[in-house]
Amino acid sequence: MKKLFTFLMATLVTLSLTNCHNRLRQQMEELEGRVAALEDAVKNVNDDILSLQTIMNALQNNVYVTDVITTQDGYTIQFSDGTSAIITNGQDGTNAPIISVKQDTDGYYYWTLNGEWLIVDGNKVRANGQDGQDGQDGQDGQDGQDGADAIAPQVRINEDTKEWEISTDGGETWVPTGVIAEGQDGEDGAPGSIEIVGDGCVFQSVDTSNEDYVLVVLADGTEIKLPRYDETAPLFIIVDAPELTQVEYGMSIAYDVEVENVIEYIINTPEGWSADYAENTLTITAPTKDMCHYDKEGRIAITVVSESGKTSIVKINVMVGEWVNEVELRTLTFEDNDAMFDAYELGYCGRTISTWSDLIAQDQYMDNLIYDMSAAEPYYWYDQNNTELLHAFPYNYGSYAYWGGGHAVSNYANTDYITYGDYNSQLTVYGTEGAGGHNGSSNFCMHFGYADDSGYNYTEELPSFMFGDGEARVIDHIYVNNSTYALNCYYNGNGLTDPVGDDDQVWIIAKGFDENDVQVSEATFYLVDGVDGIVTEWTKWDLTSLGKVMRVEFNMGGSNDNGYGFSQPAYFAYDDVAVQFPGEVVFR
């Protein structure tokens, strides 16, 4: 009996857990379905708003309906200016704000929200533009609205409040509408028309039963009659014209035009532009770049007239410019989170390098990582898969040791340049401990090395970095700062050098080399320019003047000479090396 009881209890628990799991899965599926429905609702309403603006522009410009195509989802209304508006069938909807348009006493249409004027900065928002004169954009309409820049609102559902919000500035700011999104079924439309989503949409129905016009009824009951094209109306369709025609400076572009029943036409263009029509071809010519006055963007308006006196306005948006490669900046930061290189071995010291911090010497002076005098290979780093910059210690004074020059990764920082003011702190930058890199980062790189003509300096190869993938590029900029060792000598001197005076200078020289390792450029940065001109913070050095280079070599020099050549410590820290890469090709 006890075993039977235990079996029954186990069975009940299993069934309970199974039912619980099934309910949880069902709830998750329902939640995912509701989220998908809300996303679809937002997209549908925004699409409807754009279609309504297309309809309003057609109404304003005396554009005719040339065809109404029945689709599986509704109708596509095609207009004589080549534009179209897509109207979809009713379906399961989501409670949404009622967005519509209404004609005011000035004869123009303005957007409404839930039956009230949509107000922005105290003004109503125009739903269609105002015709301009002589090719210029429309003048400011009533209530301070620019007719040429009629706005199409956007909507979204706030993820937290689930309230519909509206934007009239391209999504920069959003204002609550007071309507909470919740599912609601649409109803079937009556014969001869299509019903759109039930509550809170843009369109209510489209009636195509009349020969002379198409009747569009909005959600709030507003009716819009769109005249159909007939033999008494003019037809002027610019074939395959994009939403924005981009023309290079001084160049022309031609479009085929379908024309019917046009006996007269007038073309208005923005300043500096010209447009000509002949033999079913519209040719648009952009202004030259050296013109004193021209409109960068604008709208060409072609007014056509039929024999019966009917008119239609066809507009084409134009922009003059040139195709250019945008520049993508990639930055060498020396931060571990940004390391994209493949792990490698420094065999001479048994180190595996997988992050930038693996390249930091534990002892700033004489650590085996940077001072192995017997090494047959150099300490090196490679910003692979990012800037592609590569550096290896040069071979000087019979070894690859740091005392012969090089760029060593570091994270040592301190503001006490007296305590940390000699060669034992040679990898220490002047800055906050733990955040000494540029912009408060941890890691940076410390340069050491110089060559002069004193006769006492036998440096054969100066430290440099190059592009390890063999592609020459432009180095946009680099940030530099002084080391504590250098600062202590600048301010206080030591047994080898005097402190700097008012007329003393210390500089860095960057030399650019091409693919043949021939020097092609040079740039200079002053770490010291008199006592009051000593760098004590990360400072940007623009290196674009070097041009496109394969390798950049760094040297240091200055006015302090103790009789054996340049006498100040030849150190400087650098960080955040930005390199230019080809970006997206854009028209501007």
Instruction: Tell me the per-residue pLDDT of 302-312, one tens digit each, with 9 for 90 and over.
Output: 999 999 999 99
The pLDDT assigned to 190 comes to 40
Task: Give Cα 189 to chain centroid, integer Å.
Answer: 44
- Per the model's pLDDT, the better-predicted residue between 583 and 185 turns out to be 583
Spatial contact of 540 and 479, defined as CB atoms under 8 Å apart: yes
Return the C-alpha torsion angle 27, 31, 34, 35, nearest 10: -170
Give the per-residue SS3 of 421-434. Answer: CCHHHCCEEECCCC
Q: Which of 324, 310, 181 is nearest to 246 (CA)?
A: 324
Using only the alpha carbons of the chain, give its radius of gyration. Answer: 36
Question: What is the arithmetic mean of pLDDT over 285-294?
Answer: 96
Spatial contact of 101 and 56, defined as CB atoms under 8 Å apart: yes
Instruction: For tokens 């040069």, name the residue.
Output: 394
Question: What is the arithmetic mean of pLDDT over 521-541?
Answer: 98
The pLDDT assigned to 196 comes to 41
Cα separation of 269 and 262, whole Å?
A: 20
Give the per-residue SS3 of 195-262. Answer: ECCCCCCCEEEEECCCCCEEEEEECCCCEEEEEECCCCCCEEEECCCCCCEEEECCCEEEEEEEEECC
Say which residues have a Cβ less than 8 Å from residue 378's Cβ, sequence separation at least 6: 392, 393, 394, 395, 400, 406
Question: What is the arithmetic mean of pLDDT over 195-218?
Answer: 77
Cα separation of 249 and 318, whole Å?
A: 12
**DSSP structural state of residue 307:** T
Spatial contact of 84 and 54, defined as CB atoms under 8 Å apart: yes
Residue 534: strand, helix, or coil: strand
Cα separation of 408 and 401, whole Å?
A: 11
Q: Which of 552, 356, 355, 372 is nearest to 465 (CA)?
A: 552
* Range with lowest mean pLDDT among 203-207, 347-351, 429-433: 203-207
- Which tokens belong to 586? 């854009």
Question: What is the arithmetic mean of pLDDT over 549-555?
Answer: 98
CATH of domain 235-321: 2.60.40.10
HSE value, Cβ hemisphere, 13 Å, CA-based, for 540: 7
* Residues 501-540: b if buried by 16+ CB within 10 A, e if exposed: eeebbbbbebbbbeeeeeebbebebbbbbeeeebbeebee
Cα separation of 299 and 341, whole Å?
A: 50
**pLDDT of residue 478 exceeding 70:** yes
Distances from the Cα of 258 to the Cα of 75, 165, 283, 312, 556, angstroms: 23, 42, 14, 14, 71
Instruction: Tell me the per-residue pLDDT of 54-77, one tens digit each, with 9 for 90 and over.
Output: 998 888 888 899 999 988 878 899
- Per the model's pLDDT, the better-predicted residue between 80 and 538 turns out to be 538
Cα separation of 295 and 274, whole Å?
A: 12
- pLDDT confidence bin for 239, thresholds 50/70/90: very high
Kind plus residue range of the DSSP H or E element containing 66: strand 65-70
Task: Give Cα 441 to chain centroid, integer Å.
Answer: 24
- Which tokens belong to 40? 């679809």
**pLDDT of residue 14 exceeding 60:** no
In DSSP notation, 171-196 reads TSS-EEEEEE--EE---PPPTTEEE-
**DSSP structural state of residue 133:** S
**pLDDT of residue 454 exceeding 80:** yes
- Which tokens belong to 496? 């080898």
Spatial contact of 464 and 450, defined as CB atoms under 8 Å apart: no
Spatial contact of 467 and 390, defined as CB atoms under 8 Å apart: yes
Cα separation of 536 and 562, whole Å?
A: 24
Length of the chain equals 588
Cα separation of 377 and 260, whole Å?
A: 80
Spatial contact of 229 and 235, defined as CB atoms under 8 Å apart: yes
Cα separation of 381 and 389, whole Å?
A: 8
Instruction: For tokens 């014209």, name the residue.
Output: 241
Cα separation of 188 and 250, whole Å?
A: 55
Q: Which of 131, 184, 181 is nearest to 159 (CA)?
A: 181
Instruction: For tokens 């080549």, name the residue.
Output: 82
Most confident of 19-33, 127-141, 170-184, 468-482: 468-482
The pLDDT assigned to 144 comes to 36
Domain limits, the chain: 42-102+151-227, 235-321, 329-492+549-555+565-586
The pLDDT assigned to 42 comes to 85
Task: Give Cα 235 to chain centroid, integer Å.
Answer: 41
- pLDDT confidence bin for 338, thresholds 50/70/90: very high
Question: What is the arithmetic mean of pLDDT over 401-411?
Answer: 98
Distances from the Cα of 206 to the Cα of 6, 45, 193, 209, 514, angstroms: 68, 16, 5, 9, 68
Cα separation of 136 and 301, whole Å?
A: 9
558 φ/ψ angles, rounded to the nearest 5 degrees = 180, 175
Instruction: Tell me the per-residue pLDDT of 358-367, one tens digit each, with 9 for 90 and over.
Output: 999 999 999 9
- Which tokens belong to 468? 């390890």
* Range with lowest mean pLDDT among 102-106, 127-131, 286-290: 127-131
Amino acid code (one letter) for 263: I
Say which residues have a Cβ less than 8 Å from residue 584's Cβ, sequence separation at least 6: 325, 326
Cα distance between the two ends of the chain:
87
* Range with lowest mean pLDDT among 8-17, 38-47, 511-520, 565-574: 8-17
The pLDDT assigned to 7 comes to 46
The pLDDT assigned to 94 comes to 62
Cα separation of 579 and 474, whole Å?
A: 6
- Which tokens belong to 320? 């003059």
Task: Give Cα 277 to chain centroid, integer Å.
Answer: 39
Task: Give Cα 131 to chain centroid, integer Å.
Answer: 34
